Amino acid sequence: MRDMLDDAAELSGQGERVAVAMVVDTRRSAPRPLGSRLFVTESGEMRGSVSGGCVESDVVLRAQEVLRDGTPALVQYGITDDDAFDVGLPCGGEIEVFIAPFDADEVARVRQAVEDGKRLSVTTVLSGPDAGTKSYGDGDAHSAAVRETPEIFVEHYAPAPVMMIFGAVDTAQALCRAARQVGFHTIVSDARAKFARAERLPDADEIVVGWPAMAYELHPADEATYVVVLTHDARFDEPALGPALRSPAAYIGALGSRRAQDRRRERMLNAGYSEADLTRISGPLGLDIGAITPAETAVSILAEVLAVRAGRSGGRLSQAPGRIHPEAVTR
């Protein structure tokens, strides 16, 4: 829902009635994760997806039926036969989709929680006479969508994860731009005022002009913080890495050649950090995609951060075992 708030507001403001289809269960190789949504107007306009296109045409028809009679529907889709491609999932997966009239109150509550940086849980009843009824509470987990029982579906919304970037270099701007697109709140810190300027970092959500200690004082690193050090300068590197290593930050990455990484490692060992501490630093940071330009380097770094966040290795999907898609929306 978080990534479709604007779509929901726009469609609901057009004067047409709107239905919402939501993925509430997946089995095998389902193309879209739990919590994925498709908004459908009574005239058939669509926003979002529940299957990447496999069953959308049927979902639209059922959504319009829901709008006509006002009764929510719980629908299952999947392949039952090798030739069943009319309404099914050619990828071989199965999904369960709950379709109900648009709930403006839910969208308003989610938007307010997102804007306020607060946790929110939304429970939807999927069957029986109370199907479509929602209840709200304080979210207590970072997972975005969790199936609790066959009759209810619970989604947890948490504040956006934070990417704390040290070093207001060209790559920092490219990384801010890419990270914001996938839901990160971006903070750039640099003690050099001539570099840490909004004109140079238009996509940074926040800019902290000061030494790393100031950034950590303003934004203590927690389990949803991803630290990226781009300075590769001893004056800034260790002050940026030290507090991160003493925190539960989810990811710590540092730019620099292998030789620079070795020199930094020796300095930090001499400063009292343990080998175990230093194994938390990903350096050289990023995935091996042959990045050269700031934009390519940003893609490499963000790809590694997303892989860490999802508990994945970051290798090629063609060589990876197990399911391709995550089981739940993570934003």
Share of the chain above pLDDT 90, in %: 58
Could you tell me the pTM of the whole model?
Answer: 0.75
pLDDT, the chain, mean: 86
Query: pLDDT tens, 159-177?
Result: 889 999 999 999 999 999 9
Structural domains of the chain, count: 2
pLDDT at 143: 41
**95 and 171 co-located in one domain:** no
Please give the backbone phi and psi of residue 302, each rounded to the nearest 5 degrees, phi first: -65, -35
pLDDT at 320: 74
Residue 106's domain comprises 2-117
Asked if residue 169 belongs to a domain, the reply is: yes
Query: pLDDT tens, 64-99?
Result: 999 999 999 999 887 554 544 555 555 557 889 999
**91 and 174 co-located in one domain:** no
Query: pLDDT tens, 288-326?
Result: 999 999 999 999 999 999 999 989 888 887 777 766 665
Specify the residue for token string 């090629």: 316
Q: Single out the residue in 83, 117, 151 at which a domain terminates.
A: 117
Share of the chain above pLDDT 70, in %: 88
Please give the angle made by the CA atoms of 239, 240 and 243, to the nearest 5 degrees: 85
pLDDT at 142: 37
Burial of 184 (0-12, 13-18, 19+ CB in 10 A): buried
Question: Is residue 100 within a helix (H) or strand (E), and if so which, with residue range?
Answer: strand 94-101
Asked if residue 80 belongs to a domain, the reply is: yes
**113 and 167 co-located in one domain:** no
Query: pLDDT tens, 238-255?
Result: 999 999 999 999 999 999
Asked if residue 203 belongs to a domain, the reply is: yes
